[in-house]
Amino acid sequence: MERNPMRRQLAIMRQSLFDQGHVDEQFVQLEELQDDANPNFVEEVVTLYYRDSARIILNIEQALERKPFDFRKLDAYMHQFKGSSSSIGAKKVKAESTLFREYCKSGNGEGCMRSFQQLKKEYATLRKKLGAYFQLARQAGPVETASRPK
Amino acid sequence: MAPTLPSSDQASDQDNWDNGRLARKRQLLIEIVLRNKLTALVVDGDTTCRVLEQLLLRSYGVQTQGVDNGRDAVALIASGVKLDLIIIDMILPVLNGLETTRQIRDMGVHCKMLGVTICSRESERQVFLAAGVDVFIEKPLDPEHLVPILRELDGQ
């Protein structure tokens, strides 16, 4: 496949990540930290996020199996997860994290469980979309970047 | 890799918005040139956040180290390390961010402390400020908040 059509496809894919609300401007911030010395930086950070956040997801799942719910602990886990998600610009995941914390605050166990299920869906969807995006980006190859002073 | 941009005749409103924000952010990244060597410590239990905050600081030439819990932060500062800036999360393993902040201030450390955390309540913000952070910033840390602080620390 020629590079230019791939580049166009990549741009469309990137745009849809924003248009569909999966990522916010923090994702642009990550892209800004990427340069010739670190051409796969964004992918590496997202990989790091999914690796580390898997542990938090598991902790929350286990905590939701124990009754009565320890809302303080659940909130603390979600605090970390939300922070991590916000740092990569995961907009929908972050929104569900906020909702979960609201349910923790009000002691609504059913709400926590519902919200957590939705959060996991958004988390998985984002992973799939970003995975496809990075795969295409690697195929398309690097673009010229304007150099900025270090 | 700069963000991929479609050709101008295909640019949507979203593209123009993105390009505008990106241009402003690039300006923030380019504008600041530090005259002095600044040092910083990032205290965050989350690896992704800690790595990104350190990278952001380093992109401005700030010499930065990171620890993942409050106890190690206190120990590092107690060892005599001089810092211009500390970035600290509220919820930390081992020793929480509030207590860590208090202990750092109790040691007589007066450097700038930024509480960078996820916050949903005004009361949390006030508690963190009362513990001793100078500025409260909601995650994620971004150049728009960071650059003016670096300029101030650099005496610009």
Confidence category of residue A2, pLDDT binned at 50, 70, 90? low
Which of A9, A72, A80, A100 best tests the B interface by mutation, with the highest count of B CBs <10 A? Answer: A80
Half-sphere exposure of A16 (CA within 13 A, CB side): 11
Give A55-58 contacts, CB < 8 A, sequence gap 24+. Answer: A56/A80, A56/A81, A56/A84, A57/A81, A57/A120, A57/A123
More confident residue, B9 or A98: A98
Looking at residue B9, what is its pLDDT?
41
Query: Strand B39-43 to strand B63-67: parallel, antiparallel, or no bridges (unpaired)?
Result: parallel
Looking at residue A147, what is its pLDDT?
42
Distances (CA, A) of B94 to B53, B64, B116, B132, B136: 21, 22, 18, 19, 22
State whether A79 and B15 contact (CB < 8 Å).
Answer: no
Nearest 5°: the CA angle B48, B93, A41 is 10
Q: Summarize the confidence of residues A96-119 as an average pLDDT.
A: 96
State whether A7 and B4 contact (CB < 8 Å).
Answer: yes
Tell me which CATH homologous superfamily contains domain A5-32+40-135: HPT domain (1.20.120.160)
Question: Nearest Cβ partner of B14 from A18, A35, A87?
Answer: A18
Residues in chain B with CB shorter than 8 Å from the CB of A80 are: 45-46, 91
What token pair was written down for B11?
């640019």
ipTM computed for the complex: 0.85
**How far is B96 from B100, CA to CA, in rounded Å?**
6
- Where do we find the tokens 């040139």? B33
- Average model confidence (pLDDT) for chain A? 91
Q: Summarize the confidence of residues B111-124 as an average pLDDT.
A: 89
Residues in chain B with CB shorter than 8 Å from the CB of A138 are: none
**How far is A37 from B55, CA to CA, in rounded Å?**
13
Looking at residue A4, what is its pLDDT?
87
φ and ψ of B49, to 5 deg: -60, -45
Looking at residue B25, what is its pLDDT?
54
What token pair was written down for B73?
């932060």
What token pair was written down for B112?
């700038």
Does A19 score more than 90 pLDDT?
A: yes
Distances (CA, A) of A27 to A31, A89, B52: 6, 5, 12
Q: Which residues pair with A23 in a beta bridge?
A: A90
Is the whole-model pTM more than 0.80?
yes
Does A66 score more than 70 pLDDT?
A: yes
Question: Among residues A27, A82, A75, which one has the least CA distance to residue B142?
Answer: A27
Confidence category of residue B32, pLDDT binned at 50, 70, 90? confident
Q: Which amino acid is at A29?
A: Q
Straight-line distance from the first to the last Cα atom of chain A, in angstroms, rounded to the nearest whole number: 35
Looking at residue B38, what is its pLDDT?
95
State whether B118 and A32 contact (CB < 8 Å).
Answer: no
**How far is B86 from B115, CA to CA, in rounded Å?**
8
